[in-house]
Amino acid sequence: MVKEVPYTPLFALVKIVDIGFVTCYFFIFGIVAAKLFDHAYGVFDEKDYKNKSIFRLLLSILLHLFGLAIVAYILRNLVAAIPYPFEGLGGFEHHRLRELHGGEIIGVILLIFQKNLLAKINYFIKEVFGIEKGAVAH
């Protein structure tokens, strides 16, 4: 059974600060991971895919996203393991913070800060749907 903690102003303040910390951690780790992915994949070049099937490009995008999902999972667990300096203050328990489990910030950061993946997606959209650059921001 979960212990009920009174929602006091101190509890609320400690929780808000923790949400801020977690968001900053997700942002920082997400940018680092996105840049590492970009470094690993290199620069996207349309010429490399001109003679390859759309299915192969789609498979490349899906595998890239698969890798991102695994990295996002690892990063969420890493952030959750970082000790919170105000643990217990006002009855607050860091591990119960819902924002630790979502990691939406990491997902967004991992996607929007990868030039290679966005270029692949733009090329795919252009080839399949005929929509020119700008379909996905980069």
pLDDT tens figures, 12-71: 999 999 999 999 999 999 999 999 999 998 888 888 888 889 999 999 999 999 999 999
Say if 46 falls within a structural domain: yes
Amino acid symbol at 48: D
Say if 104 falls within a structural domain: yes
Nearest to 21 by CA among 74, 94, 91: 94
- CA dist., res. 57 & res. 127, Å (int): 10
Say if 138 falls within a structural domain: no
User: CA–CA distance from 96 to each of 18, 47, 90, 92, 101 (Å)?
Assistant: 11, 49, 14, 8, 9
Count structural domains, the chain.
Answer: 1
Please tell me the pTM assigned to this model.
0.83
Tokens representing 24?
A: 């900053």
> Which structural domain, as residue segments, surrounds residue 114?
9-129
